[in-house]
Structure 1
Amino acid sequence: MRSCMEFRMPQTILYGRGSFSKAGEQAGRFGKKALLISDRVMEELGNTEECLHLMKQAGVDHAAYLHVNTEPTDVYVEEALRLFVDEKCDVIVALGGGSCIDAAKAVALVAANGGYIGDYMGGKTPVEREPIPLIAVPTTAGTGSEATDVTVITNTADDVKMMIKHPALLPSVAIVDPLLTMSSPPSVTAATGVDALCHAIEAYISRRAQPLTDTLALSAIELISRNLRKAYANGNDLDAREQMALASMKAGAAFSNSSVCLVHGMSRPIGAVFHVPHGVSNAMLLPAVLAYTRDSAMERLAVIGRLMKPDGQGLSHEEWADVAIAEAKRLCRDLHIPTVKTWGIDKAKWDEKVQKMAADALASGSPGNHPRVPSHDEIVRLYDICYHYDFHAIESVVE
């Protein structure tokens, strides 16, 4: 255990059914004119209109940028930043999935400190000023971005997902209302739910894990194991949606204060190069990476196995670790998660890009937090295994 540990969360967290109604009031705590950053899906659902109405009721003037329609890029950040400056805004409200919240975090940082968002990757440029206050309102149960000090922005010139971590990226307020997740279709519920599971598992097995992150990560794993299939099968199951929203926030806080590991390191290049949504690319990798990790994190995987399959009895540590791997596979199978191959990525193009993806994965730093730190060649091999992976072969274990 590290001798001195640090734990950070948003200043304020509002959660539970109906908490979205506080968005305008919270924005008014920090400024007089808000920039709403969201997407067209939220607009079509009426959520952006409701958010703007809540701000109007609270006496907060507003402008809106509703163009975060893919995973966040530096282009979106620059466009939203320009609107923020032109409209003389002083607070930001992010409404949507992790893409909207991550884009908003980047705008909040750059609006206060200047430059290009990529300048802050790896601490190359110091953050000298407090960011613009940010109210984060997630509408999916997955990324946990509302509780993290991380943003991931694609550099469109280089096809690289830039992972930027700094305490300044923590939202001022997180509003977690499960009612906003009810509109998520099954495919989004599945992908974001497995994303949250990846966050929790990686936070727990990380070399940087600590007691507080362990508590949140294990609670999240248990909640997800009990509720994700229910939310996927019946999107109107509000109890399951509520538990998933809570689990996502817990998992986000856990990995933000611990770290993600190999799954995320390998996942980001897939998203950057082949434009696979983040939650899907994480899910494609999770079982194979857990199998690769088995012997290096036996005891912790055994704990995870017990949480994912609480009806098991009389098993050894080794067997419980195998249960964790098998249950991750079974979950991906039950949620109809695509493999790399079934997603439709051409094998020749995959092979052409695999060396770059492995290099980018290592450069991100996340694999260095993994219990078994991989070499470049091992990551290449894992990418090859994941291309052909079969979620239905529950009994198989990757060497």
Structure 2
Amino acid sequence: MYDFETPRLTFQFVSPRRIIMGENSIASLGQIVKSYKVGKALLVTDKVLRGLGALAPAVDSLELAGIDYDIYDDVEPNPTIANVESGIAMAKKDHFDIVIGIGGGSPLDVAKGISLMATNPGRVNDYLGMFLPVPEKPLPLILVPTTAGTGSELSFGAVFSDHEAHKKTQIYNYEVIPLVAFIDPIMMMGCPAKLTAASGFDALTHAVESYVTKNGNPYSEALAAQAIRLISKGLLPATKDGKNMKARTQMALGSTFAGMAMSASGLGINHAIAYPLTTHHNVPHGTANAVFMPYTMTYNAEEVPEKYANIAELMGLDVSGLSPKRASLKAIEEIIRFLKELDIPLNIKEFGIKEDELFGFAEIIIRDYVPLCMFNPRCMSPFDAYGLYLNALNEDHIWTTKLSD
């Protein structure tokens, strides 16, 4: 491995009080809920998952334990605050005692919002931002991911879309961390190939950005490193054969470690420049992250080549005898191979992006996503951001010259 200096040796870390990991661990959900001595549970999900029967293992466990429940399934992709507030209205009207989010990042984030607001005054907008005061304890919260990627089940963030302002809004607060997170690959077996690829790349982006961030620490680096190893092994086979339990388990573990790393370190510019594609063109979050990875890795590897060289090793690549920059190039080439194998575009023209939008996007990310830019290992101006967008628009293979020594 290549040597580098860890940015921070003092840090704090928060996570769910309890993480229950393993195949068919969801079978214990009912007994876990029962232990909280609650009367009625609200399950938060979306109509697609409910229609596919993906809730069955969780519902069976609740019924076996004699838990009364109802289901809120109006969660939309990239949910809005209005979407959250309709769930809050249901929670307050029917007096639920516990919230259980089941699904990808959207249902989990909506479940966080419902849990928080069911017991607190005001509206969701009053709690948007960084660690604002929360007068009352939220309803107990349990989260069950059905994708290996978003990391929401492990984080203190909930992200919502503001379609009018074309931006993402966030609640960052320790009060939205669940009491329990179930990480069960059985719950992920029905995830379609396209979503497996997109959410898997989301997890890989979490891992890579956590590994290279200026806000990193020994804890986040160790978790991110293991996440990169696992996701690099599991992403392709899990996407190509959704019933491959070994690959699903690797992805579930990798996503978990990446989510924990992200919570301890923060992320970087890859997430920042991906957000406008989601808010302006409805590109799925994981896909938007994926398409930018070669470009942001090239940009950052000029500043911290040793870290990206280590990422190449963690991905299982032979970099013996190579300089850090050349080893970094190996990691970027492997990401490109993944993108091609998973049929994810290497340019943003495929999503209908036009050149005259790019500088506006660049200004948005510098204005609205300051923490992501601040933690990035290399400083980025609006002109740098514009250059990254332009490279991604034209599929400009800048890595062949930037990292060739």
Q: TM-score normalised to the size of structure 1?
A: 0.93
1:269 is matched with: 276
Write the letter of the residue equivalent to 1:355. G
Question: SS of 1:193's equivalent?
Answer: helix
Equivalent in the alignment of 1:389: 395
**Could you tell me which of 363, 377, 383 is aligned with 1:377?**
383
2:356 matched residue in structure 1:
351
Is residue 2:109 matched to residue 1:105? no
Match of 1:78? Answer: 85
Structure 1 position 3, deviation (Å): 5.1
Q: Which residue of 1 aligns with 2:14?
A: 8
**Contact 2:303 2:377 (C-alpha < 8 Å) held by counterparts:** yes
Q: Are residue 212 (structure 1) and residue 248 (structure 2) matched?
A: no
Correspondences of 1:60-209 after superposition (within 5 Å): 60-123=67-130, 125-209=132-216
Q: Deviations over 1:285-329 (max 9, x none)?
A: 111011111121111111101112333422121211221222222
- Shift in Å, 1:341: 3.7
**Structure 2: distance between partners of 1:264 and 1:398:** 22
CA contact (8 A) 1:148 1:170 kept: yes
Match of 1:315 among 322, 347, 358: 322
Task: Call closer, same or farther: CA 1:43–1:367 in 2, change over 3 Å.
Answer: same
**Cα separation, partners in 2 of 1:118 and 1:287, compared to 1, 3 Å:** farther
Shift of 1:98: 1.1
TM-superposed CA distance for 1:339, in Å, is 4.1
- Counterpart position of 2:4: none
Residue 246 in structure 1 maps to residue 246 in structure 2 = no
* Distance (Å, rounded) in 1 between the aligned partners of 2:8 and 2:346: 37
For residues 397 and 280 of structure 1, the distance between their equivalents in structure 2, rounded to whole angstroms, comes to 25
How far the C-alpha of 1:342 sits from its partner, in A, is 5.1
Residue in structure 1 matched with residue 3 of structure 2 by the alignment: none
Report the Cα distance in structure 1 between the residues aligned to 2:352 and 2:18, rounded to whole angstroms.
42
Q: Indicate conservation of the 8 Å contact 1:190/1:228, yes or no.
A: yes
Contact 1:196 1:247 in 2 (8 A): yes
Structure 1 regions of 5+ residues with no counterpart? none
CA contact (8 A) 1:72 1:153 kept: yes
| Number of equivalent positions | 396
CA contact (8 A) 1:329 1:394 kept: no
Q: Deviation digits for residues 335-392 of structure 1, max 9, x if unmatched?
A: 1112454533142xx623641453245422211110112111211221122122268x
- On the 8 A contact 2:205/2:289 being kept in 1, the answer is yes
Q: TM-score, normalised by structure 2?
A: 0.92
Distance 1:121 1:339, change over 3 A: farther
Could you say what secondary structure the match of 1:71 adopts?
coil
- Conservation of the 8 A alpha-carbon contact between 1:362 and 1:368: no
Structure 1: how far apart are the matches of 2:176 and 2:131?
15
4+ residue segments displaced more than 4 Å: 393-399
Query: CA–CA distance in 1 between the matches of 2:241 and 2:31?
Result: 32
Distance, in Å, in 2 between the alignment partners of 1:121 and 1:296 is: 33
1-side partners of 2:115 and 2:129: how far apart?
18
In the alignment, is the contact (CA less than 8 A) between 1:213 and 1:255 conserved in 2?
yes
Change beyond 3 A, Cα 1:346–1:215: closer
Superimposed CA distance per residue, residues 18-67 of structure 1 (whole angstroms, 9 cap, x where no aligned partner): 01112222222332211100012221221234433322322322121112
Greater shift, 292-301 or 352-361, is seen at 352-361
Gapped runs of 5+ residues in structure 2? 1-6
1:364 counterpart (364, 369, 376): 369
Aligned partner of residue 161 in structure 1, secondary structure:
strand
Q: Contact conserved, 1:269 with 1:361, CA < 8 A, in 2?
A: no
From 287, 294, 297, the counterpart of 2:301? 294
Whole-angstrom CA distance in 1 between matches of 2:66 and 2:143: 19
Matched, 1:256 2:263: yes
Counterpart pick for 1:231 among 229, 233, 238 = 238
Instruction: For residue 270 of structure 1, report the CA deviation from its aligned partner.
Output: 1.6
Please report how far the alpha carbon of residue 122 of structure 1 lies from its aligned counterpart in structure 2 after TM superposition: 2.6
In 1, the alpha carbon distance for the partners of 2:303 and 2:399 equals 21
Given that residues 118 and 162 in structure 1 are in contact (C-alpha distance below 8 angstroms), is that contact kept between their aligned partners in structure 2? no
CA RMSD of aligned residues (A): 2.1
